[in-house]
Amino acid sequence: MPPLVKICGLKTRQDIDAAIAHGVTHIGLVHFEPSSRHLDLKTAADLRQYAKGRVQVALLLVNASQALTGQALSMIQPDIIQFHGSETPEWLAAVKRLVPAEIWKAVGLKDTGTLDRMQKYRGIADRILFDAPAQALPGGNGTRFDWSLLAGHRHNMDWGLAGGLTIDNVGQAIAETGAPLVDVSSGVESAPGVKDVDKIAAFLKAAGR
């Protein structure tokens, strides 16, 4: 069975249509101003409505304030909230009690110790998304981590793989890690924040969709 595939940082209806046409299972909308993939809340809400019922929609937030988080969730009503900063388990648990959405937590996988430290999210996060350690931005940097860190690891939470995935390496990534979900952003772009519909199609094919 092929893995689930999430394409993050979509900004247009054309992007969404291309992703759905080629078998994507999840899309991500980014609300984080430093990112080239940032969407204002109104645009994100419009795109969420456009995609509703056709694909699972994740809203990506990074260390957002309580007020901003509440406003974003009220306007967009995503299927999934993806926290991509240094959010605590306590904060995730508080959000989980208030909204009927899955909670995903991105974790920069630096070493095997990270696999132990992330256990604090067990029972709170519905999925852990392993990404490359944060750089200038917390994600979407096009860099990968050492996949061997996951070799033989016994996962006790649903999880996914992100960080530097491309058309050329996603098949290898799936084979080496057994990832049940892969997440791509920069790997299907022609320029920062600009998705390429041909690359979207090729990536989904390479991932087995």
pLDDT digits (tens, 9 = 90+) for 63-78: 999 999 999 999 999 9
pLDDT digits (tens, 9 = 90+) for 67-116: 999 999 999 999 999 999 999 999 999 999 999 999 999 999 988 888 98
Domain residue spans of the chain: 4-206
Please give the structure tokens belonging to residue 137: 């931005």
pTM: 0.93
Residues facing 26 on adjacent strands: 6, 56
Please give the structure tokens belonging to residue 22: 């080629």
pLDDT digits (tens, 9 = 90+) for 20-49: 999 999 999 999 999 999 999 999 999 999
Other beta carbons within 10 Å of 61: 22
- In Å, how far from its chain's centre is CA 156? 19
- For the domain made up of 4-206, give the CATH fold: TIM Barrel (3.20.20)
What is the number of alpha carbons within 13 Å of residue 155 lying toward its C-beta?
17
- Let me know: does 10 contact 28? Beta carbons within 8 Å: yes
